[in-house]
Amino acid sequence: MGLAYPAAMWFRLVPALAESYRVIRIDNRGAGRTGDVPGAPYTIETMAADCLAVLDAADVDTAHVVGISMGGLIAQEIVLTAPERVRSLCLIATHPGIAHAVMNPQAMAMLMQRGQMTPQEAAEASIPFNYAPETPRERIEEDWAVRFPLAATNEGYLAQVVGSSQWDGYDRLEGITAPTLVVHGELDALVPPENGRIIAGRIPGAELVMIPNANHVLMTDQPEHVSKLLVEWLDRNR
């Protein structure tokens, strides 16, 4: 899942996926039920290794790997580190590493200030960067009802921020051979859509889908569209 988000935030997509697939959701270090652990900052390499350890513990040899935002960085590192474990790759609303990413300065300023905010203040400040203007307030608050009980601490948030900012996969993306789907919201103000185009252009054979009327948290803006897209992708790559 994305920066400071718990795995529970996949809740809008899980019902459709679970009809045909075993779904394993992972709380990254510093977030959700995993919480803060020693070893900050939490690097992308470390969190990718955590995910592979979970697959080992679950007795899963190969998996369809799906990652959103920071989780997309982790997904890229998983396929680059252990390509034999990845049946297919889906990268949602993510980028190839800060050094080669197209960033929104206003969004970056909000993220840097977020560590000094309460969870409610941070949630309110992030609305324009996360949700499409047409997304109903009550749907956004449904997300908050899931997120807030599992909110990352300031320490966990900063450990993820620092660790993820150090990662870069751009020069290695051409080596990815797994079937890859890149998905991005057309209105993404947190990780601009050009990042999806960059990634899709670097990975051989990657497919790019832009979701209309969707910002960064596109599974909340367009839950039916994204669910259908992912199920069809997985079915094609069984």
Total residue length of the chain: 238
Sheet holding 207-211, edge to edge: 63-68, 86-92, 180-185, 207-211
Catalytic residue among 69, 88, 126, 164: 69
Catalytic residue among 64, 95, 184, 216: 216
Burial of 18 (0-12, 13-18, 19+ CB in 10 A): exposed
| Cα 98 from Cα 100, distance rounded (Å) | 5
| Cα 187 from Cα 170, distance rounded (Å) | 23
Catalytic residue check, 168: no
Catalytic residue check, 216: yes
With b for 16 or more beta-carbon neighbours within 10 A and e for fewer, the 200-211 pattern comes to bebbeebebbbb
Catalytic residue among 64, 95, 143, 188: 188
The catalytic site residues sit at 69, 188, 216
